[in-house]
Structure 1
Amino acid sequence: RTLLRMEHHEPSGMYYNWYDEATGEALRTWPQPPYNTVYPFVSSVDNGWLGAALWVVRNSVPGVAELAGRLFDRMRWDAFYDPAGPRPGGLMHGGFFPFDHDRPGGVYRGSHIDAPDVWLTTHHYDTIVSESRITSYLAIMTGMAPPQHYFASWRTFPATCDWSWHEMQPVGETRTYLGIDVYEGAYTYRGKRIVPGWGGSMFEELMPNVFVPEEVWGPRSWGENHPLHVRAQIEHGLQEADYGYWGFSPASNPFGGYREYGVDALGLNPEGYFSDREMTNYDIGFGECRPATSPNPDYGDGVVTPHAAFLAMMHAPAAAYANLSRLQTDFDSYGPGGFYDAVAVGSGTVAERYLSLDQAMIMGALGNVLARNVLQRAFSTRRVEAALRPVIAMEEFASATDGP
């Protein structure tokens, strides 16, 4: 009922990023000094998580199912979908500003639905290993984006020298699905071929998997990549970096603020996400196009976030449990609300904070592990399976392992 009363972008049914919690109105001024102007923004990925939650409630909580359904049904995912975007099949905008904006050059005026113009971001989500794919799933399952949209995102960027800026030279081949040519590339890391995310974090790889049984519906894609990503994070933490612990994903910075953590080798971004406080860079070059600058770095104070291990529990439960047990035993990392958000395991510095998003991932993953995939079952109705499973099932990633 609170959501029904809150200010939102009525033509699309979508919600803004920041609210006055006393009134339910979108913030126009930040409530703390220096009281900066806030331009209400409608985020495609944030609304994606809201939509996924509403869909679950609609299907599993009878007392509020009707209200959740009303909220979900008015959400227009095609407000974000750009069919003429920079990739065949169309991409999702990062979001839009309905009223005014503070991003000159970063937006353009227009609308993808029958509604007044907004300022759409020029930025699109264009990589498949990303938390943003939940929005794509919602758009496809509701018929607001075509199935071809799933194949528009990069698996990796190309392997040619004119693309040598990204992390490493991928291996793979081009395959065609629903008329869309897809370069099925993968990065090679410790004897494994893995489709990378932008930053190499557990969040990008596995958060959509909390809701969608991707490894079941896509045995030749996510069924390979999810467990390989988890194994790579484990090996990075325990062997390559020798932290003694693992689990790398954006989280509170134990030394103040917030930071994006990940395994550098699993991310397209050549400048991290990094796994330690020192932001140690891993660079094996790009074949003959770019020489290596740091193929065997010495890592520093590794920063581990428990929510990454909980996500991994869906694919490696014993290893995740052992890792979390060590974190609890060896550090003052567990408070009245459960695990704190992050631990710098070299110095023992703990981010004694709880972030709602990270706690939600912990609870969602635990629900799936302990209650027979309860969130996946609630999300994946027959309607959803009929729309998504055939699309996901047809793809074959380049993911593989060359050894045990």
Structure 2
Amino acid sequence: MNRRTFLTAAAAGAAAVCAGAPAARADAPLRTAPLTTADTELLRTWFTSTYRSIAAMTTDFGLTADKADVTGTGTPVPSRQTSPTNIGCGLWSTAAAGGLGVISGTTMHHELTRMVTAVEKLDRAHGFWFNWYDAHNGSVLTTWPETGDTVRPFLSTVDNAWLVTGLEIAADADPTLRPRVARLLDAADWSYYYTPYDPADPVTGPGQLRGGFWPDRPGKGEPTGHHYGALNTEPRMASYLGIADGSLPAEHYWHLFRTLLPGMGQEQEPDGSYATVDGVRVWQGHYTYRGRKLVPTWGGSMFEALMVPLFVPEPEWSPNSWGVTHQRYVRSQIEHGLTEERYGYWGFSPANIPEGGYREYGVDALGMQQDGYNSLGVVTPHASFLALPQARGAAVANLKALARDFGAYDDRYGFRDSVNVRTGRVSDFVLALDQGMIAAALAQQVRPGLLQRPFRTGGFASRIRPLLRKERFSI
């Protein structure tokens, strides 16, 4: 799009999206009307093109690659590298495509079987998968394809959580795969990442999960220097999986931070109070943004808050805590884009830099990290899709405006990864992670619960649901 066209279109887009902006009262819930036939058709169209991008990124070997350039007229070439998260995205997107009838049951079975077969061939350590593989042959990457830099194989907590999520969904969608997936997951013991709580030294014994391990050292390997301490971030999926399967104690949930403790360096000094839950003293802290109380994420991005509830029904099981903070988080992202920064568009989350590369985007005030993520005028479509449960009207209007004003959508492969709304520059790429979130969000709208079935039964029903029922955020 040339700059003259962009400037004219952007003004129209701002007006259109503002029509879907929230009401004035800071804590009033956003309203989402029932889906109409036209809504459903649009969401299905968006899902179909998004799934087409996932299929294009999935190699003959059976692994969904990290990304692909979709600017050419031919079939995109998948990147060399992939991660456990990307593979998980491919699994659940394929299960969703079968569940929505976008592909036949036979095709879904064939594709899921091919993907699970590929996962079975991957080297792993301590029951978990390495952070980077060659998507075309399954070998562990030791050299980064794009630069030649050395890659030290790593076992990431959060990336393994998303692969396990995808495997659980694949087994639910295709019962013939259940024995094979069960064998894969038998060795995935989340206590490997866990540092038990030590009341005498809660700094070194916080009752939290390590970010991961480099397994090329004796014993467990070399751990990261940090733990995943923040509750409202995407690694809580690993926490839920471990508590649900019994490899982590339930008290681990209460040792995660709603905010950092008062007096600790963080984005704002929190309000709140202490409460004792299941024998654990919990700081029930909150931040205040534009007059509303909420539980912050670590960096201020949308996917930290809203990727997990694509699968775990947090708002349903904890309507007055998780349900409220998710609503207020979405409203805050909307107001940051439309009112605070006056971009005319909203939705900020880590993504491809439109001009090339990758970085975190977000709303700094919504994150605990002092030098948190900034929006910088870069709007990421997957953030709007994540907001569909809380603000469908505003999200759809925002996405339509990005498509109309910037050409951010095409019928072949869906929405591009990001748009710099200040310059009009649109990313050349689609990323498996972000397309996978879009696919899951759309599936949840068109067929609620489709991808949530494995996370509503078993240990999730007996162990996670009671925890969320006890949650009392101070908001």
Pairwise TM-score range, normalised by the shorter structure: 0.7 to 0.9
Structure 2 distance, partners of 1:57, 1:26, is 23
Choose which of 392, 395, 411 in structure 2 pairs with 1:320.
395
Match of 1:293 in 2: none
Match of 1:55 in 2: 168
Structure 2 distance, partners of 1:172, 1:49, is 32
Structure 1 distance, partners of 2:137, 2:329, is 43
Structure 2 distance, partners of 1:3, 1:127, is 30
Unaligned runs of 5+ in 2: 1-116
Match of 2:471 in 1: 395
Contact 2:243-2:459 at 8 Å conserved across structures:
no
Q: Does 1:226 align with 2:326?
A: yes
- The aligned amino acid for 1:3 is V
Query: In the TM superposition, what are the counterparts of 1:53-202 in structure 2 within 5 Å?
Result: 53-84=166-197, 86=202, 90-100=207-217, 116-160=219-263, 163=264, 165-202=265-302
Q: Does 1:39 align with 2:152?
A: yes
Which secondary structure does the structure 1 equivalent of 2:124 belong to? coil
Per-residue deviation at 1:215?
Answer: 0.7
- The aligned amino acid for 1:341 is D
TM-score normalised by structure 1 residue count: 0.84
Could you tell me the percent identity over the aligned residues?
45
Q: 1:32 to 1:172 in 2, by over 3 A?
A: closer
Per-residue deviation at 1:328?
Answer: 0.8
Structure 2 distance, partners of 1:235, 1:266, is 12
Per-residue deviation at 1:99?
Answer: 1.1
Q: Does 1:13 align with 2:13?
A: no
Choose which of 462, 470, 475 in structure 2 pairs with 1:386.
462
Per-residue deviation at 1:18?
Answer: 1.3
Structure 1 distance, partners of 2:335, 2:136, is 47
Per-residue deviation at 1:84?
Answer: 4.1
Structure 1 distance, partners of 2:341, 2:144, is 41
Query: In the TM superposition, what are the counterparts of 1:250-265 in structure 2 within 5 Å?
Result: 250-265=350-365
Contact 2:455-2:461 at 8 Å conserved across structures:
no
- The aligned amino acid for 2:210 is H
Q: 1:143 to 1:246 in 2, by over 3 A?
A: same
- The aligned amino acid for 1:354 is V
Structure 2 distance, partners of 1:243, 1:32, is 33
Contact 2:230-2:258 at 8 Å conserved across structures:
yes
Unaligned runs of 5+ in 1: 101-108, 110-115, 277-301, 400-404
After superposition, the C-alpha distances for 1:225-284 in whole angstroms (9 at most, x for unaligned) are 1111001111111111111111010001112211101111101112120011xxxxxxxx
Per-residue deviation at 1:181?
Answer: 1.0
RMSD between aligned alpha carbons? 1.6
Query: In the TM superposition, what are the counterparts of 1:211-222 in structure 2 within 5 Å?
Result: 211-222=311-322
Structure 1 distance, partners of 2:212, 2:247, is 16
Per-residue deviation at 1:22?
Answer: 4.4
Structure 1 distance, partners of 2:352, 2:308, is 21
Per-residue deviation at 1:89?
Answer: 6.2
- The aligned amino acid for 1:329 is R
Per-residue deviation at 1:73?
Answer: 2.5
Per-residue deviation at 1:65?
Answer: 2.4
After superposition, the C-alpha distances for 1:305-342 in whole angstroms (9 at most, x for unaligned) are 00000000022111111111111111121132100000
Paired residue total = 354
More helix per residue: 2
Which secondary structure does the structure 2 equivalent of 1:96 belong to? strand
Which secondary structure does the structure 2 equivalent of 1:157 belong to? coil
Structure 2 distance, partners of 1:256, 1:217, is 40
Structure 2 distance, partners of 1:226, 1:379, is 19
Structure 1 distance, partners of 2:171, 2:334, is 36
- The aligned amino acid for 1:156 is T
Structure 2 distance, partners of 1:396, 1:22, is 47
Match of 2:95 in 1: none
Structure 2 distance, partners of 1:30, 1:190, is 43
Which secondary structure does the structure 2 equivalent of 1:374 belong to? coil
Per-residue deviation at 1:56?
Answer: 1.5
- The aligned amino acid for 1:6 is L
Contact 1:89-1:151 at 8 Å conserved across structures:
no
Contact 1:89-1:148 at 8 Å conserved across structures:
no
